[in-house]
Chain A
Amino acid sequence: MTAQIILFWLFAFLTCAGAILVAVSQNVVRMAFSLVLTLGSTAVLFLLLGADFVGATQLLVYVGGTLVLLVFGVMLTATGPFTRIKSSPADAILSGLIGVVFLFIVASTVTAVDWDGGNGVAQKIAMGTHAKAVEGGFNPTQQGNTTRPLGLSFLSLRADRDLKLGLPKELSGEINTAPVVPGMAAATPGTTLLPKTSALLSTGYLLPFEIVSVHLLVVLVGAAYLARTKRRATT
C-alpha cells in the first residue's frame, strides 16, 4: 500500500460519502455543501491520477463556479417550505430502484470493457505493482490517448470509422494516401488519413451534441422567462 493508494481510497470514500449525503440529507443547503465534498474529492482524484489540468478545471468550473451559483440560488430560495425536503417512502423506493439499475449499468460497462487488451495491467496498477505493470507491457506515456478520438467524434469524425485511427491494420481497410488538401504533399503509407469511400460528417456525435446545447438554451430561456420582472399590465 503506497501513500497514493491510501489517498485514493480516502478520497474515493469521500466522493461516495458526499454523494450519499446529497441523497439522504433533508436540508437543501446541507445537500449543496455535500456536493462540494463530492466534486472537490473528484478533483483530488484527478490530481492523484496526474491529470493536473482536469483536476484544476474540476475545481474552477464545478466547485468554484457552478456550486457557488447553486448555493447562491439555494440561499435565495430556501425559505419556508423549501428549506427541508421530505420524500415519501414511495419516492425513496423508486429512486433506490433507479439507483440500483444505474449502478448495474455502470458496473457492467466497467467490467465489460477490456481496458488493457487482456494483460491484466490495470489490475496490477490498481494493486500498486506499477513496475510489474510496465514490465507487462503498460506504457504510461501512451495511455490516456482517448481524448483525440472523443474530441473528433464531437466534431462528427469517428476516429475508428472515418479516420481509421487506433484500429489494427486488418480492420481499417484501405488507407487513402492521396493528399487531402490540394497542393499538400501526399502522406507516406502507414500514416492515417481519410479513407476514400467513407461518408464524411455522418457518423459522429455532432447532432446529439448540438441537440444537448439547444436543450441548454431552452433551459436558459425558460429560466430567464421565469425570473423576469413581473410588471402589471396597467403600467
Chain B
Amino acid sequence: MDTLFAANSLAEFFQALLALVGVPVSASTAYVIAVVTHVALVVGWFGLPAGLFIWAERKISARIQDRLGPTRVGGKFGWLQSLADGAKLIQKEDLVPKDADGLMFRMAPYIVVVASLAAYLALPFSDGWTAVALDTGVFLTLAVLSLEVLGVILAGYSSGSKWALFGAIRESAQMVSYEIPMALCALCPIVTAGTLNLNEVALLQSGGVWNWNILHPFNFFAFFVYFTCATASCKRAPFDLAEAESELVAGFLTEYSGFRWSLFFLAEYASMFLVSGLATVLFLGGWDDGLGILAGFKAAAPSGVGSFLANAIGMLFFLVKASVLVCVQIWVRWTLPRLRIDQVMTTCLKYLIPISCFLFAGTVAYPLVLVTMSGKTSIIGQPAGERLVQPKKAAGVSSAGATTESHLRITASGTEGGGR
C-alpha cells in the first residue's frame, strides 16, 4: 500500500495501483490515465463550486436584504436550488439574434469557459496536489486569467446589439487597466518568497500563522489591493459595469439565453474561486492551518498514508479559506452600490496603480532595510531564508518537517537551474 502513497505523481500512482490489482500497464498508459483524471477533476471542480456558490449567493443576498431566499427545493434551506436553475436553463431555447455574427456569437462562451478552466491548471490545492506543477505557476495563471476578457469582448461585439457592445467596451477598458495593479500586487508575495512556483510559495508559509505572507507589512496591504482588483477582474459588483442592468439591460449578456448564458455564469463563479484560491496560496498560507499542527504532523509522517491524510486535511483548509474569500466577494456585491465607469477607471489608474507600485517597491526594499537595521529579514515569524536553510534549529516552531521538504525541493531545482 505504501508504494501508492509514495507516488510523486498521479501517473506513478495509477501505475502502482494497477500493478497491485494485477493489471500492469506501461508508463505512457498510466500517463494518459493520469491526464484524463486530472482533466476530469478540474472540469468537475469547475461545475461543483459554481453550483454551491450560486446557492450561497442567493442565500447570502437574501439575508442581506432581509429575505429568506430559496426555501423549497431540496429541503429547508433550498440547497438544490442551483440544480433546479440549471435544469431550467438547459431547457431554454438557444437563440442567436438576426444581426449577430453567428459563429463568433456561439464561440464566445466557450472562450470564457476555457480561459477560466485553464487557469486552474497550475493552482495547487494541497502540497503537490496540482494538475500541472509549473515553475512559473503564478505567471501562467495570471496570463490565462487575462484571456477571459477576449470572450467577453467577442460576446459583446458579435451580439449585434448596442447594449452588448457598450458592455464589451467597458469590460475591455476595465480589464486591461485592472490587470496591472493585480499583477503588481501578486508580485509582492512572489518577491517575498523568491519563487514563481505556487506550491513553493505556499510551502514557505507553512508552520504557523506568523509565517503567512499577510503578516508581512507590505503584503498585508497588497492583499487588499489584490482582492479589489480580483473582484474587478471577475466583473463582480461594485465593478460589474460590463453587465450593469440599470444602464445596459444586461451588457454583454443581453442577447444570450439558456445554456450559453449559464456558461458565462459558471465561468464567473469558477474565476471567483480561482482568484480567491490564488489569494489563499499567495497571502494566506495556502493549505496551512496557522498553528503548525499540520506541518508538525507532516514532519512526523513524511510519506505514506499519514502524509496523504495530512495533504487531504490541508486541502480542506485551502477550500475553506478560498470559500470564505468568495463569500466576502458575495457580501461586497450585495452591500456596495455600483460605481460609475469613470469612477472605476479613476479608482484603478489614479489610486490602485500608484499604491501597488509603492507596495511593490516597499516589498523589495523591506528586507534590505530590516537587514541593515536589525540583521533579520522579518520581524514576525521566521525569515524565509531561515525557513529554508536552517530548519533543524527552528524545530521548536514545529515547522521543521515541511520546510525541510521544501528546502530539499528548492535546492534540487536550484542546482538544476545552475547546471543549465
Residue numbers of A with Cβ under 8 A of B are 2-3, 27, 29-30, 33, 36, 40, 52-53, 55-57, 59-60, 63-65, 67-69, 71-72, 75-76, 141-142
B143 and A59 contacting across the interface, CB-CB below 8 Å: yes
Chain B minimum-CB-distance residue to A51: B136
Select from chain B the residue with minimum beta-carbon distance to A72: B172
Contact indicator B143/A68 (Cβ below 8 Å): no
Chain A residues within 8 Å of B158, by CB: 29
A53 touches B143 (CB 8 A): no
What residues of chain B lie closer than 8 Å to A76, measured between beta carbons?
169
Partner of A29, one of B147, B157, B169, B179: B157
Q: Which residue of B lies closest to A145 (CB)?
A: B420
Please give the distance in Å from A135's CB to the nearest CB on chain B: 19
CB-based contact A60/B143 at 8 Å: yes
Known: A2-B28, A71-B153, A72-B153. A56 touches B143 (CB 8 A): yes
| CB < 8 Å A-B pair total | 80
* Cβ B32 vs Cβ A56 within 8 A: no
Q: Are B168 and A65 in contact (CB under 8 A)?
A: no
Closest CB pairs A-B (n = 3): A64-B146, A60-B143, A59-B143
30 A-B pairs (CB sep. < 8 Å): A3-B28, A29-B104, A30-B104, A33-B150, A33-B154, A40-B147, A53-B136, A53-B139, A56-B136, A56-B139, A57-B139, A57-B143, A59-B140, A59-B143, A59-B146, A60-B142, A60-B143, A63-B150, A64-B146, A64-B147, A64-B150, A64-B179, A67-B150, A68-B150, A68-B153, A68-B172, A68-B176, A72-B172, A75-B157, A75-B165
Contacts of A30 in B (CB 8 A): 101, 104
Partner among A2, A40, A60 whose Cβ is within 8 Å of the Cβ of B146: A60
On whether the beta carbons of A59 and B147 are closer than 8 Å, the reply is yes
Pairwise interchain contact B139-A72, C-beta atoms closer than 8 A: no
Minimal Cβ-Cβ distance residue in A for B111: A36
> Does chain A have a CB within 8 A of B123?
no
Question: Is A52 a contact of B136 with CB atoms below 8 Å?
Answer: yes
B420 nearest CB neighbor, chain A only: A141
Other contacts beyond A53-B139, A59-B144, A71-B154: 4, CB < 8 A: A33-B104, A59-B143, A60-B143, A64-B146
Q: Which residues of B contact A2 (CB under 8 A)?
A: 28
Pick from B28, B104, B135, B169: contact of A72, CB under 8 Å: B169
- What residues of chain A lie closer than 8 Å to B175, measured between beta carbons? 68
Write the nearest CB–CB distance from B135 to chain A, whole angstroms.
Answer: 6
| Cα of A71 to Cα of B176 in the assembled complex, Å | 12
- With an 8 A cutoff between CB atoms, is B134 at the interface? yes
Contact indicator A36/B146 (Cβ below 8 Å): no
In the bound complex, CA of A142 to CA of B142 (Å) = 30
The residue in chain A whose Cβ has the minimal distance to the Cβ of B141 is: A56
Q: Which residue of A lies closest to B149 (CB)?
A: A68
Tell me which residues from 155 to 169 in chain B have a Cβ below 8 Å from any Cβ of chain A. 157-158, 165, 168-169
Check if B20 is an interface residue, CB within 8 A of chain A. Answer: no
Whether, in the assembled complex, B173 has its beta carbon less than 8 Å from a beta carbon of chain A, the answer is yes
| Assembled-state Cα–Cα distance A63/B118 (Å) | 14
Q: How far is B101's CA from A60's CA once the two chains are assembled, in angstroms?
A: 27
Question: CA separation between A55 and B420, bound complex, in Å?
Answer: 19
What's the minimum C-beta distance from A129 to chain B, rounded to whole angstroms?
15
Other-chain residue from B134, B168, B169, B176 in contact with A69 (beta carbon distance below 8 A): B176
A63 in contact with B147 (CB, 8 Å): yes
Chain A hits for B396, CB < 8 A: none
A66 to chain B, nearest CB (A): 10
CB of B420, distance to nearest CB on chain A (Å)? 5
Q: Is the CB of A56 within 8 A of B28?
A: no
Residues of A close to B142: CB separation below 8 A: 60
Whether A64 lies near B143 (C-beta < 8 A) is yes
- Contact between B153 and A75, CB atoms less than 8 A apart: yes
In angstroms, how far is the closest chain A Cβ from the Cβ of B141?
A: 9
B419 at the interface (CB under 8 A from A): yes
Q: How far is the CA of A142 from the CA of B157 in the complex (A)?
A: 47
Which B residues from 98 to 140 make CB contacts under 8 A with A? 101, 104, 134-136, 139-140
CB contacts (< 8 Å) of A141 on chain B: these are 419-420
The reply to whether B172 and A3 form a contact with Cβ atoms under 8 Å apart is no
What is the bound-complex CA distance between A64 and B151, given in angstroms?
11
Residue among A2, A3, A68 having the largest count of chain B Cβ atoms under 10 Å? A68
Complex partner residue of A56 from B140, B176, B419, CB under 8 angstroms: B140
Q: Mark B52-88, 1 if CB is under 8 A from A, else 0.
A: 0000000000000000000000000000000000000
